[in-house]
A and B are shown apart, each in its own frame.
Chain A
């Protein structure tokens, strides 16, 4: 009989699944709260999305969004919820590194670090 690993793949998956669901729920609550503020503020305006001009600079990166959200700007709050949503699968990858390390699986620790690096590169804005 092979020695039983500290964590089985199945146990890891269940923890990861719950982590993902909690992240999505928290993100949805923040987005909904921001959405209520947003409609209270801008509900009577006419939407115009015909021409792409890109979001203002403060809604494009994590520090700007955090500042806007703390100032309770509705668009910033929604964007904060969306950042949390994007961070959810990223945290899943980060958690997997710890889980593979607990199994002493060096190959998969290395492979997972590569995936996490790609994600962090993108979240940092993707500048070479």
Chain B
């Protein structure tokens, strides 16, 4: 196979990854890395470099669509980005010191988790009735539009959420994924921020988090232009098409199929990691 065909196939694969990533809300990264590593025989370090670049593209490209709706909370997002960027730096350093087999196994575990979440989206937690002192000091309590008008909400458990965000940033930097699922979990579950606000704010944060590990990746030679080019362009096209399709349909059955595929990829990643065939 020559470079021309390789690039074309990679682009097509990335379009598909971006499409299903947007449709299921998991993002392209969790599929790009296994696609490159298992499907194209690419070293996992190059794979996470290319994936991370595509994560920045989709997060930043989608942001303008979200902000017009007025859901995202830029104050809590900016505050928590201190945690996610520090985590991303830590994760990127960790990636350079971790053997590829270990990275593959950790990736497999995250894939299993993503697979479970994609079929069972977390139930929105009930809104907090009372304000929290630290949230008041940081002025992060806000409001968002609902079907029945503007609704106020209080943010809780800021220290716990901050620690979880550091963890999400670490996973993002270690594996070259957006780890949006974990960011939403921290905001929605721990901090009791409304689900819709959590998902849009998380999308905003993903690009900044990924940029914090991208510098380290670039400096350590993880970002190959020949690989990143078709991956970034493909995921961008695919995720745009996916978000358009999402407006038309709620694909419950597709999510099930997708979660099974992710589970199979997880098993393969862990198996290859244990046997050292990556």
Instruction: Identify the A interface with B (CB < 8 A).
Output: 9-10, 12-14, 16-18, 20-21, 23-24, 27-28, 31-32, 34-35, 38-39, 42-47, 49-56, 59-61, 74-76, 78-79, 82-83, 85-90, 92-93, 96, 107-108, 111-112, 114-115, 118-119, 121-126
Contacts and interface: CB of A to CB of B under 8 A. Distances in A.
A92 B78 contact: no
Interface stretch (B15-23, B39-47, B149-157, B268-276): B39-47
Interface in B101-158: 138-139
Interface in B28-85: 40-43, 45-46, 53, 56-57, 59-61, 63-68, 70, 72, 74-75, 78-79, 81-82, 85
Nearest to B89: A122
A45 B2 contact: yes
B225 A78 contact: yes
B261 interface: no
A119 B211 contact: yes
Contacts of B207: 20, 88-89, 92
- Considering the complex of A and B, which 4 residue pairs feature the smallest CB-CB distances, nearest first? A54-B221, A17-B64, A122-B215, A78-B225
Main secondary structure on chain B at its contact with chain A? Answer: helix
A92 B226 CA distance: 27
B3 A42 contact: yes
- Residue among B7, B41, B74 facing the most chain A CB atoms (10 A cut-off): B74
B138 A107 contact: yes
B23 to A, nearest CB: 20
Contacts of A45: 2-3
A25 B10 CA distance: 20
B56 A89 contact: yes
Given A13-B74, A49-B227, A85-B232, A44 B60 contact: no
Nearest to A10: B70
Contacts of A39: 3-4, 7
Interface of B: 1-4, 6-7, 40-43, 45-46, 53, 56-57, 59-61, 63-68, 70, 72, 74-75, 78-79, 81-82, 85-86, 88-89, 92-93, 100, 138-139, 207-208, 210-216, 218-230, 232-233, 236
A25 B236 CA distance: 10
Nearest to B46: A49
Given A78-B225, A93-B81, A122-B214, 17 more contacts: A9-B74, A9-B75, A28-B232, A34-B229, A35-B230, A38-B226, A39-B4, A47-B3, A50-B43, A55-B222, A60-B221, A86-B218, A89-B210, A89-B211, A92-B60, A96-B78, A123-B211
B3 A123 contact: no
B222 A54 contact: yes
Contacts of B74: 9, 12-13, 16, 96
Contacts of A56: 221
Nearest to A14: B67
Contacts of A83: 218
A61 B56 CA distance: 18
B111 to A, nearest CB: 21
28 contacts: A10-B70, A13-B72, A17-B63, A21-B63, A21-B64, A24-B57, A31-B229, A43-B3, A44-B4, A52-B46, A52-B100, A55-B223, A78-B225, A79-B223, A79-B225, A82-B225, A86-B53, A87-B211, A88-B211, A89-B60, A96-B74, A108-B75, A111-B82, A114-B82, A119-B211, A122-B216, A125-B215, A126-B219
